[in-house]
């Protein structure tokens, strides 16, 4: 996949991957062996019929390829950019055994981008109206996917979104250089054209409650994400210059703080930015800090490179853009000056010990290894936990011990007709797993709404 | 396709030199809001999200009242709105409703624009049959707001720094007298952080429960960003979802005051930029000197 030069892109917010040309896309698609029992599709949480759309693409039948892809996946322009294909579809490609797998993610992106600019060549056929109405709580990947599926089945769909713009983590969390906001906006627009209604500035748990929605709708799909940021719980964490990754990225992505003062929301830029955590959100934060002009952006992670939860491509891009990695390092305190601005992060060196409950080696502190990493901004990217706003106003909903919603294999909660999926059920996970939940729950909701056989 | 309903401005009134009252259409919020709750408004595309307490609501008319102190570029733009204009986004009602008492005596202390936040609290107390005494303050006569409205709910003591209206001095001086005379079962204090801290320090030794309303920097108002974290009783709480009102005896006011200054230099730059110095600003945009 052609990329923007790493030095140039470390200073701008334009997309890093430039996308395939038509010639390159057809060539790559023709590498698909059209397996009789395709394993790639089994690796896809939304079960995209990969050989079918690749076959059509290799024949140059791009509109048919797009039609096929969109039937399986409501947000292909998004997943083509942010899915961890290397552990899903591409990992199972038979070509991977002897060299390089088919570049399924890049091809998905190519077809999705073509579809977005050639909407007139695609059919927008959907099932006749059923007269049934479904409320979807949250317009992130799970909610948008479910909405897309449900509207295709002929149901009326209204999405309730707490923020002023739809997209959830796709607009507040994932940076412009990885997923341009224009693409999310166009995918949302396509759903609106299909008939999905979106009500922004509607916080379920405050503006509306689940019982209120239940009275107005025949079914509900709750996909409000796992919003609350987890902090480190170390001294100095409320000093000026400490952000949760949620706040840092929301200011920059949703509120366009990188354009301040032309936009209205500010963000501290930081000369040396320490990002605590090793997931995709940590990589996004560090790469964003570089783009805001940080001379140094560091990933502070308590395990080693091998345990980094981030996608390989994100780690690779971060390194190319000059992000430094402090492995086997655990913060114990944020240090500030007399005016309470951050000046450093006091850390301990760690060593890997015996595996813990998650099967990963447990990091253990090296005695006497305390040192201070000088920095003026700290971004805490160590995860999120369940937001209790919605569930507090619907106490009948059953929660697990981490306050996430409990849903059965169809995505239904303990309340009939109330379904749930995405991070509010599984804890912080990936866009595509949330979409898989949305798709599966939409199927279950469709069955639930079918008139009983008489 | 638009995702939001525009919220039209139905009335505007200047309450003091820098405080303006706007009556805004927001029917759902008007129907369900409770005293103490707030909204977040976003004037236009690319505008900041600003938390504002709901000062009053008229469910029948579908309107809410916002009282706005103009302090920077964004609030200046808001108070410049005229009837017929509109606010792009209003989300809410956010936060918890005010902790109420069922009977007895309440002392409500307001400073500056905080007096507007106090008003719905006093209203609700009065409706429950609680005896309400209000102490409100301002720099001078023209800075005192909501005096008339609060007089309808009980006695009002006005304090001004220069003595141009009511008694000369701080609201805490008047509070000391009221607490010494009749006492109070609960105190509500809303205003500048130093005022709320002073009230909390006054009532702590007396053991009178004291509720303060905090307005830290926040973005989403749903607990997602954690920017509004405050230390209450040595625990970190999010003002947007855990508050905005807390036990004043437990709040770390020094930290709150400090965190309110994080973007001060940005705010000054934004204001300067709005005043016409933007080309230079764009050239040197970056990190403020710390």
Residue whose structure tokens are 């920077």:
B72
Q: Copy the structure tokens of residue A157.
A: 């769909």
B225:A164 CB<8 A: no
Residue A302 pLDDT? 95
Within 10 angstroms of residue A310's Cβ, the number of other Cβ atoms is: 22
Residue B60 pLDDT? 96
A295 touches B at CB < 8 Å: no
Kindly report, residue by residue over A310-341, the tens digit of the pLDDT.
Answer: 988 899 999 999 999 999 999 999 999 999 99
Residue B245 dihedral angles phi and psi, to the nearest 5°: -100, 140
Q: Which residue of chain B comes nearest to A241, CA vs CA?
A: B262
Q: Is the pLDDT of residue A51 over 90?
A: yes
Q: Is the pLDDT of residue A359 over 90?
A: no
Residue A337 pLDDT? 97
Q: Which residue has the higher pLDDT, A13 or A278?
A: A278
Q: Copy the structure tokens of residue B69.
A: 């102190």
Q: Which residue has the higher pLDDT, B73 or A451?
A: B73
Name every chain A residue with its beta carbon within 8 A of the beta carbon of B266. Answer: 260-261, 266
Q: Is the pLDDT of residue A8 over 90?
A: no
Within 10 angstroms of residue B77's Cβ, the number of other Cβ atoms is: 17
Q: Is the pLDDT of residue A220 over 80?
A: yes
Of A205, A206, A340, the CB nearest to B258: A340
Q: Which residue of chain A comes nearest to B237, CA vs CA?
A: A238
A389:B222 CB<8 A: yes
| Residues 6 or more apart in contact with residue A367 via CB below 8 angstroms | none
Q: In percent, how much of chain A has pLDDT > 70? A: 99
Burial zone of A354 (CB within 10 Å; 0-12 exposed, 13-18 middle, 19+ buried) = exposed
Query: In A17-163, which ranges are E strands?
Result: 133-137, 156-160
A263 touches B at CB < 8 Å: yes
Q: Model's pTM, two decimal places? A: 0.92
Rg (CA), chain A: 23
Q: Would you give per-residue pLDDT tens digits along chain B (290 residues)?
A: 556 578 999 999 999 999 999 999 999 999 999 999 999 999 998 899 999 999 999 999 999 999 999 988 889 999 999 999 999 999 999 999 999 999 999 999 999 899 999 999 999 999 999 999 999 999 999 999 999 999 999 999 999 999 999 999 999 999 999 999 878 999 999 999 999 999 999 999 999 999 999 999 999 999 999 999 999 999 999 999 999 999 999 999 999 999 999 998 888 888 787 776 555 444 444 444 33
Residue B284 pLDDT? 44
Q: Which residue has the higher pLDDT, A13 or B156?
A: B156
Residue A358 pLDDT? 77
Length of chain A: 454
Q: Which residue has the higher pLDDT, A139 or A427?
A: A139
| Residues 6 or more apart in contact with residue A271 via CB below 8 angstroms | A294, A295, A296, A376, B287
Q: How far is CA B134 from the centre of its chain?
A: 16
What are the CB-based long-range contacts (under 8 Å, 24+) for B198-201? Answer: B198/B170, B198/B172, B199/B109, B199/B171, B199/B172, B199/B175, B199/B248, B200/B248, B200/B249, B200/B251, B200/B253
Pairing of strands A371-374, A133-137: unpaired
Residue B280 pLDDT? 47
B93, containing H or E segment: strand B89-94
Query: How many Cα atoms sit within 13 Å of B197 on the Cβ side?
Result: 9
Question: How far is B56 from B204, CA to CA, in rounded Å?
Answer: 30
A268 touches B at CB < 8 Å: yes
Residue A452 pLDDT? 59
Q: Which residue of chain A comes nearest to B259, CA vs CA?
A: A240
Residue B71 pLDDT? 86
Residue A9 pLDDT? 87
Residue A432 dihedral angles phi and psi, to the nearest 5°: -70, -35
Q: Which of residues 372-401 of A touch B (CB under 8 A)?
A: 376, 387-389
Contact at 8 Å (CB) between A283 and A298? no
Of A207, A293, A389, the CB nearest to B223: A389
Mean pLDDT over A15-29 rounds to: 90
Q: Which of residues 213-232 of A touch B (CB under 8 A)?
A: 227-229, 231
CA triple B267-B272-B277, angle to 5 deg: 140
ipTM surpasses cut 0.85:
yes
What average pLDDT is seen over chain A? 93
CA distance A339 to chain B (A): 8
B181: three-class secondary structure by DSSP: helix
B191 touches A at CB < 8 Å: no
Mean pLDDT over A172-189 rounds to: 93
B2 touches A at CB < 8 Å: no
Q: Which residue of chain B comes nearest to A169, CA vs CA?
A: B224
Q: Is the pLDDT of residue A436 over 80?
A: yes
Name every chain A residue with its beta carbon within 8 A of the beta carbon of B258. Answer: 240, 340
CA–CA distance from A98 to each of A43, A54, A95 (Å)?
18, 20, 6
CA distance A43 to chain B (A): 31
Three state DSSP letters for A399-428: ECCCCCECCCCCCECCCCCEEECCHHHHCC
pLDDT band for position A88 (50/70/90)? very high
Of B1, B46, B226, the CB nearest to A229: B226
Q: In percent, how much of chain A has pLDDT > 90? A: 81
Length of chain B: 290
Name every chain A residue with its beta carbon within 8 A of the beta carbon of B226. Answer: 228-229, 231, 244, 246-247
Residue A90 pLDDT? 94
Residue A25 pLDDT? 94
């Amino acid at each position: 996949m052609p990329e923007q030069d790493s030095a140039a892109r470390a200073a701008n917010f334009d997309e890093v991957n430039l996308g395939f040309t038509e010639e390159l896309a057809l060539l790559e698609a023709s590498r698909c062996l059209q397996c009789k029992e395709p394993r790639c599709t089994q690796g896809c949480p939304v079960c995209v019929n990969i050989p079918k759309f690749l076959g059509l693409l290799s024949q140059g039948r791009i509109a048919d390829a797009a039609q096929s892809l969109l039937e399986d996946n409501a947000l292909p322009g998004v997943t083509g950019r942010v899915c961890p294909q290397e552990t899903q579809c591409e990992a199972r490609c038979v070509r991977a055994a002897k060299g390089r797998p088919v570049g399924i993610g890049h091809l998905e992106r190519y077809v999705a981008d073509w579809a977005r600019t050639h909407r007139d060549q695609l059919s927008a056929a959907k099932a006749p109206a059923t007269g049934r109405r479904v409320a979807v709580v949250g317009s992130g990947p799970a909610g948008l996917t479910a909405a897309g599926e449900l509207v295709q089945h002929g149901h009326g769909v209204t999405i309730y979104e707490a923020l002023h713009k739809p997209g959830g983590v796709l607009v507040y969390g994932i940076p412009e250089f990885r997923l341009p906001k224009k693409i999310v906006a166009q995918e949302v627009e396509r759903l609106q054209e299909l008939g999905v209604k979106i009500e922004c500035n509607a916080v379920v748990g405050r503006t509306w409650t689940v019982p209120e929605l239940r009275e107005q709708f025949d079914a509900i799909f709750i996909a409000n994400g796992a919003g609350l940021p987890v902090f480190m719980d170390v001294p100095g964490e409320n000093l000026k210059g400490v952000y949760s990754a949620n706040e840092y990225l929301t200011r920059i992505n949703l509120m366009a703080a990188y354009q301040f003062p032309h936009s209205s929301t500010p963000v501290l830029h930081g000369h040396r930015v320490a990002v605590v955590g090793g997931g995709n959100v940590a990589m996004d934060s560090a790469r964003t800090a570089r783009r805001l002009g940080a001379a140094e952006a560091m990933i502070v992670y308590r395990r080693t490179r091998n345990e980094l939860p981030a996608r390989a491509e994100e780690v690779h891009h971060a390194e190319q853009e000059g992000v430094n990695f402090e492995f086997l390092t655990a913060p114990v305190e944020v240090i500030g000056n007399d005016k309470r601005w951050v000046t450093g992060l006091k850390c301990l060196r760690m060593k890997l010990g015996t595996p813990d409950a998650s099967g990963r080696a447990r990091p253990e502190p090296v005695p006497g290894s305390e040192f201070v990493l000088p920095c003026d901004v700290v971004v805490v990217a160590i995860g999120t936990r369940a937001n209790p706003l919605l569930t507090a106003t619907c106490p009948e909903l059953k929660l697990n011990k981490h306050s996430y919603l409990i849903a059965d294999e169809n995505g239904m909660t303990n309340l009939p007709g109330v379904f749930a999926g995405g991070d509010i059920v599984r804890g912080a996970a990936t866009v595509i797993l949330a979409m898989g939940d949305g798709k599966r729950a939409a199927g279950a909701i469709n069955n639930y709404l079918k008139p009983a056989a008489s | 396709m638009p995702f939001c309903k525009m919220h039209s401005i139905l009335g505007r009134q200047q309450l003091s030199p820098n405080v303006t009252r706007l009556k805004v259409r927001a029917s759902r919020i008007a129907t369900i809001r409770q005293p103490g709750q707030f909204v977040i408004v976003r004037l236009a595309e690319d505008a900041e999200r600003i938390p504002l307490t709901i000062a009053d609501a008229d469910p029948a008319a579908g309107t809410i009242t916002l009282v706005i102190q103009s302090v920077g570029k964004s609030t200046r733009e808001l108070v410049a709105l005229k009837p017929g204009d509109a606010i792009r986004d209003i989300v809410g009602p956010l936060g918890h409703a005010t902790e109420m008492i069922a009977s007895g005596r309440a002392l409500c202390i307001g400073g500056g624009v905080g007096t507007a936040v106090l008003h719905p609290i006093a209203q609700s107390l009065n409706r429950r049959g609680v005896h309400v005494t209000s102490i409100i303050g301002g720099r001078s006569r023209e800075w005192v707001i909501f005096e008339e409205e609060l007089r309808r709910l009980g006695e009002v003591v006005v304090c001004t720094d220069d003595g141009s209206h009511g008694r000369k001095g701080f609201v805490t001086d008047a509070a000391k007298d009221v607490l010494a005379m009749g006492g109070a079962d609960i105190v509500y204090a809303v205003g500048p952080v130093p005022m709320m801290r002073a009230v909390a320090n006054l009532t702590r030794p007396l053991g009178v429960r004291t509720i303060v309303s905090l307005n830290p920097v926040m973005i989403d108002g749903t607990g997602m960003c954690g920017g509004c974290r405050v230390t209450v009783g040595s625990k970190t709480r999010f003002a947007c979802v855990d508050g905005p009102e807390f036990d004043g005896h437990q709040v770390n006011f020094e930290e709150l005051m400090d965190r309110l200054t994080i973007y001060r230099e940005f705010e000054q730059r934004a204001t300067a930029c709005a005043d016409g110095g933007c080309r230079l600003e764009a050239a040197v945009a970056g990190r403020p000197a710390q």
